Structures are given as C-alpha cells and as structure tokens.
C-alpha cells in the first residue's frame, strides 16, 4: 500500500472473491438480462416477418427451425426462464425478504434448478423436441 492515499472503501476485486451461489445468481441475472436483450430481436423479427408476408416468414422460420436456430431458441428460453424466476426472487428481496445468508443461497440455487426445469418442461411438453410429445401438442396421431 505504498502511494495509496484514497480513504474511500475499496471493493475487493472479483478475482479474489470466493465464488458463492448468491454471487453466481447475481451475475447470471445480468448475463441472462443481456441474453434476453439479444433474444427479443428474434421475437420482433418474427412479428415483422408475420406482417411482411410469407416471403419474409418462410426464410426466417427456416433459420429458426435449423439445429442452430433451435439451440439458440432453447438458450433464449433458458435465459428468459432464469431471468423471470430470479427476477421474482429479486422482487421479494426488494421488499426486504430472504436476506438470511443460508436462505438467500437456498433461493439462489432453487432459482437455478427451477429455471432449467421450466425451460426443459416447456420444450418437452410443447412437443418442440423431435420425437417427444407427451401431450400430443403437434396433433400427430
């Protein structure tokens, strides 16, 4: 601490922090927020293509229907479901609830698990995974 004269408190640098669940959930909340920012481009493009006609709609659905398109859409689903679940947790914390360290870690972990379960359940139940359609959503016999 040779020439350091600034008396203001200094935040410990990320690299010397021990990773813990609440920290991971906070970082992931921001990461998925940015992910959703990118994902809504697809949603708006889809709405626009619907209005613009089949000449726009069909090429777009060819891209989103490809394996890479489907992977991106599943990632988007995962990103939205995590941000939604953890966002609900944030709202409770904004109301002053759930700050007990152990409970906060528990809800952080619960949010992670719930997000994956929700995203996987949506894809499986909606029949978006080829060959899996328990509720017969695609209308195939």
Binding-site ranges for other proteins (CB under 8 A): 6-9, 30, 33-34, 36-37, 40-41, 43-44, 46-48, 50-52, 54, 57-58, 61, 77, 80, 84, 87-88, 90-91, 94, 122, 126, 128, 137-138
Toward other proteins, which CB reaches closer, 35 or 108? Answer: 35
Spatial distance between the Cα atoms of 102 and 20, rounded to a whole number of angstroms? 11
Residue 115 CB: number of other CB atoms within 10 A?
A: 23
Quote helix, strand, coil % in the chain, to nearest 5. 70, 0, 30
Q: Is 64 exposed, middle or buried (0-12, 13-18, 19+ CB in 10 A)?
A: middle
Toward other proteins, which CB reaches closer, 96 or 101? Answer: 96
Nearest approach, Cβ of residue 97 and other proteins (Å): 14
Nearest approach, Cβ of residue 44 and other proteins (Å): 5
Nearest approach, Cβ of residue 37 and other proteins (Å): 5
Toward other proteins, which CB reaches closer, 22 or 36? Answer: 36
């Amino acid at each position: 601490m040779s020439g350091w004269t600034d008396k203001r408190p200094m935040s410990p640098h990320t690299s010397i922090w021990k990773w813990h669940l609440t920290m991971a959930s906070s970082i992931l909340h921001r990461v998925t927020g940015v992910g959703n920012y990118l994902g809504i481009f697809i949603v708006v493009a889809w709405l626009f293509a619907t209005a613009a006609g089949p000449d726009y709609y069909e090429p777009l659905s060819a891209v989103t229907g490809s394996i890479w398109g489907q992977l991106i859409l599943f990632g988007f689903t995962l990103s939205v479901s995590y941000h939604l679940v953890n966002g609900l947790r944030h709202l409770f914390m904004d109301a002053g609830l759930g700050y007990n360290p152990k409970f906060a870690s528990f809800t952080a972990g619960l949010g992670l698990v719930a997000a994956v379960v929700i995203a996987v359940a949506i894809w499986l139940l909606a029949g978006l995974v080829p060959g899996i359609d328990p509720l017969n959503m695609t209308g195939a016999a």
